[in-house]
Structure 1
C-alpha cells in the first residue's frame, strides 16, 4: 500500500510560532525586555531650535493651522526668531497660509533651507510636491518624509518652532511625541461636544508621552455680529469649555471668535496678525503668544 505525503500547511517558522503563541521565553533563553522598552527610540532635539511647541487638535476642521500660523507670526512680530513646521504630510496648509511656493534649496550640508515670509521661517511637504498632486503614500514613505522634515532642515537658529500637527493621534503624532523633545503642547478645539471629545484624546496622548500641556484655545467661540458687534455663541454655552479645562486641569489661553475676515485673510495668504495687525483679533493672538512665551521662559 502506498501513501501520499501531503505538504505541510505551515512553514517551520510558523509552526514554531504556533507552538509558542504567547511568546513566552524558552528554557535557557535570556529574559526578554518589555515591548515598549525595546521599541521606544530616544528623543532628540531639533537642530538649532531652542523651544518647540506642538499645536494639536486631534480633529480636523477646527482651524488649527490658522491658529498655529497666527501664533507663530505673533512670536515673530514680538521679536523672536520664529519658525513653523507643517507636519501634515497629506494635507499641508502652511504654503497657502503664508502665500509661499517653490521647492526649497539645499544648504552646503544637504539640508533643506526654509522658505520665509512676514519674518517667519517655514517648512512644509507642500513645498516639495506639486500643489495639485496627492500624497498617495504608505506608512514607510510618510515616516521617511517626516524624519526629513524634523531633522534635516537648516533653521539657522530659532528661539521657537511651532509644529502644526495633523489631525488625529496616529503614526505622525506618535513619532513626534516619542522622538522629538517637545517643550509644550497647545490644544485647539471648538466649544462643540464633538470637538471636545476628540480634544480630550489629544490631551491624553501628550500626557502619556510626558509632554507638558501649555493650555487650550477655544476657536470659533462665538459669532460677532457685524452690525451690532454683539457676540453670539453658535455652539451653545461656553460652559463646555470651562468644564473641560477644569476636568483636564488645563489653562484656557484664549478664545478666538468666528469671523469671516479671519478666513478671508488666511485664504489670501495674509493671516490676521499681519493682515490686520491693529485689530482686536490680532491682539488676542499676541496675548496668547505672550503668555506661552512666559510659560516656556523665552527670553529675547
Structure 2
C-alpha cells in the first residue's frame, strides 16, 4: 500500500501574518519614526518573513500617493510657489551635473551604457520612478532594471537613516534640510521620511521641491528616446502630483475646518511611516547582490557627489 505524502502548506503560518500586521499597526502610532519603521520592516522581513511580499510593491505605491496627497492639505499655495521658485535653480543644476558626471564615471568604470543612464537618472530625479519611466522608453533589459533598482534602493535606505543626524551635526535649519533632502535623496518616500523626522517645515519644503523635481521625468524621457533611439511607448508621468497640487489649492482658497486639515495631515504622516515599514520589509536583497561592484560604485559616487555638493551650496548660499 502506497504511503501518502502530506502536502506541505506553502502559505505562511497565521501567527507570522498576525505579528507582521501588528508591527505595521504600531507604525501608525506617533511612537515610531520613519527611519525606525524602515529598519523595523527590514528586520521583521528578515527574521519572520513578509507574508504579503507578493502585494508589497502595489500597496507601497498606493499608500505613498495617498500620504503625499494628504500632506497637501497642510500647505498653502503662496508658500509652495515661493519654495518651488527657490528650489528650481538648485534642481536644474543638480540634475544636469549628475547626469553628466554619471556618464563619465560610468565610462571610466566600464559600466553598461543603459545601466549608467538608469542609475544616473534615478539619482538625478526620483529613484525608482525615474528608472521605471526611462527604462520603458530605452528598451532596457530586466537585468539592467534590476541592477539599477538594487543600487538605488540600498542608497535610499541608507539616506533615510543617516541624513537627519548629519543635518543636526551641521546645525541645518529645517528649510536647509528640507531642500537638501529633496535634492540629494532619490525616492520620494525616503525624502519625505527623512524630512518628517527633522520637522514640519522641513517636511513641507522637501515634499514640494521633490515633487516638482519629479516632473523632470518627462523631458528626460524625451531626451533619452533621442539618445538611445528608443520608442515612445507611453511615458510614465507621476499623475498623483497634480492631486497633491489640487489639495494645496483646496486648502488655500476654500475655508476648510482647521481640525479637518490637521487630522488629514496627521493621518498622512502615519500612513507614510507605515509605507516606510513596508519598504524596509521589501528591500530587494537579491537585486542588491546582483548589482556588482562597478554599478554599486557608480551609484555611491553619484550619491556622494550630489549629497556633498548640494549641502555645501545650501550652507554657503542659504545662511
Which of the pair has the greater relative contact order for Cα pairs under 8 Å at 6+ separation?
2
Task: Compare CA radii of gyration and give the structure with the larger one.
Answer: 1
Would you call these one fold, judging by a TM-score over 0.5? Answer: no
Greater strand content: 1
- Looking at secondary structure, tell me which structure has more helix per residue: 2
When normalised by structure 2's length, the TM-score is 0.28
TM-score, normalised by the number of residues in structure 1: 0.29
